[in-house]
Structure 1
Amino acid sequence: MTSVITRLDAARLAAHRDELADLLLAVVRAGSSLGFLGDLDHTAAAAWWDSLAPAVEEGSLALWVSRPAGGRLDGTVSWYRESKPNGRHRAELRKLMVHPGARGRGTARALLREAEHAAARAGVLLLVLDTETGSGAEHVYHGAGWTEAGTIPDYATDPAGRLHPTTLFYKRLELPR
């Protein structure tokens, strides 16, 4: 099943907030950390998406969603551009998530590829990220050519509140010619 990947502006983010909240809830309930605990509810998930609107509006946050033909959103990814003068060449990839029912179809890789290409077009030379050590996401990043930079023990809790290490990754990008 082919999905269409679309970059969201602030208006589209607001229009899709309930679907995005549902996606976030499904991913957290399936055990992915993403910074949230298991007691996350729809209201809090929707409020979190709402909190991103100013950054999307002013351009420091780039956000994409994936939607299969005729279906609900099945994935998302974003990156924040560093605002400090000495770091404007880099961005942090955040919240790559795929609905548990849509995994294994290449959605994560397609979203990641789109975010990487857009970052290079925007002049970003370096992307960084962290992910739960031992998660399926690690396999995605290794397969997409990301370099593992190290592991930090007890970095964050999973949705059940158990501490887990995180693995840091980076990828150098080439600007389009």
Structure 2
Amino acid sequence: MDLTYRLDPELTPGLLDQLTRLWVDVNNAGGAVGFVGTTSYEDVRPGVDGYAESIAAGRHRMLAGLDPEGRLRATAFFGFNEHRLQRHYAWLYTVMVDPALQGGGHGRALLGEAERHARGFGLEALKLTCRGGLGLERFYAAAGYKEVGRVPDGLRVAADDYRDDIMMWLPLS
């Protein structure tokens, strides 16, 4: 299945509902998207509403991957730096692909679209963090990102389970 990527889709109630459900599905399939263990719609929805507010304020932009029926199946958010010494790059947040589509190249396509848009914004780099212990750094490295920092045990996912917080950087020039 091919996805169509759209930057800044209209944040309708239906799209916000789809985003919430996608986030729950990705998390509950084991994705490292800010929650630990099984989560619910009610747990995730405040994060979705926070993105909507931040998008309205111009601090984030959404990249949406839509299936042929127009359903949200993948997403990533650009976070822009306000500090004058960091405006040359943006953060990439909450990179997600529907678990039913994973393994089909959609994650790589999503990152490629993010890179294309970042270049169009005039950015020089993208930066993201990922959770250690899941091999995500290998996935991002295969897309051209370089590991530029690691905080050992920087993420506590359970009382006795700490993971490295890994910073990745994609130069665009």
Q: TM-score, normalised by structure 2?
A: 0.88
Distance 1:79 1:160 in 2: 31
Q: Is the 8 A contact 1:31 1:159 kept in 2?
A: no
Partners of 1:33 and 1:157 within 8 A in 2: no
Which runs of 5 or more residues in structure 2 are unaligned? Answer: none
Aligned length in residues: 173
Q: Tell whether the 8 Å contact from 1:38 to 1:159 is kept in structure 2 after alignment.
A: no
Q: Secondary structure at the match of 1:43?
A: helix
Moved over 6 A (4+): none
Q: What is the DSSP-based 3-state SS (H/G/I as helix, E as strand, rest coil) of the residue aligned with 2:85?
A: helix
Larger RCO, structure (CA 8 Å, separation 6 or more): 1
> Is 1:141 matched up with 2:140?
yes
Could you tell me how far apart the structure 2 residues matched to 1:32 and 1:18 are?
A: 19
How far apart are residue 59 of structure 1 and its match?
2.5
Q: Which residue of 2 aligns with 1:2?
A: 2
**Alpha-carbon distance in structure 1 between the residues aligned to 2:158 and 2:3:** 28
Q: Corresponding residue for 2:56?
A: 57
1:50-88 CA distance string (max 9 Å, x none):
111232123221211212223732211111010111111
Distance 2:12 2:43 in 1: 16
Read off the aligned partner of 2:138 and give its amino acid letter.
H
Q: Which residue of 1 aligns with 2:29?
A: 30
Deviation of 1:159 after TM superposition, in Å, equals 7.7
Structure 1, residues 94-145: CA drift from partner, whole Å, max 9, x if none? 1111122110111111111111111111121121111112424323211111
Q: Any residues of structure 2 matched to 1:59-138 within 5 Å, and which?
A: 59-70=58-69, 72-138=71-137
Given that 1:64 and 1:76 are in contact with CA atoms closer than 8 Å, whether structure 2 keeps it comes out as yes
Provide closer, same or farther for how the CA distance between residues 114 and 160 of structure 1 changes in structure 2, counting only shifts above 3 A.
Answer: farther
User: Post-superposition shift, 1:160?
Assistant: 9.0
> Is this contact kept in 1: 2:137–2:147, CA < 8 A?
no
Residue 39 of structure 1 deviates from its aligned partner by 5.1
Secondary structure, in 3 states, of the residue corresponding to 2:11?
helix
Q: CA deviation at 1:40?
A: 2.8
Aligned partner letter, 1:28: N
Shift of 1:15: 3.4
Give the C-alpha shift of residue 13 in structure 1: 5.4
**Cα distance in 1, alignment partners of residues 29 and 160 from structure 2:** 14
Question: Which range moves more in the overlay, 165-174 or 36-45?
Answer: 36-45
**Structure 1 residues 161 and 71 mapped into 2: Cα distance closer, same or farther (>3 Å)?**
farther
Q: Distance between the aligned counterparts of 1:126 and 1:119, measured in 2?
A: 8
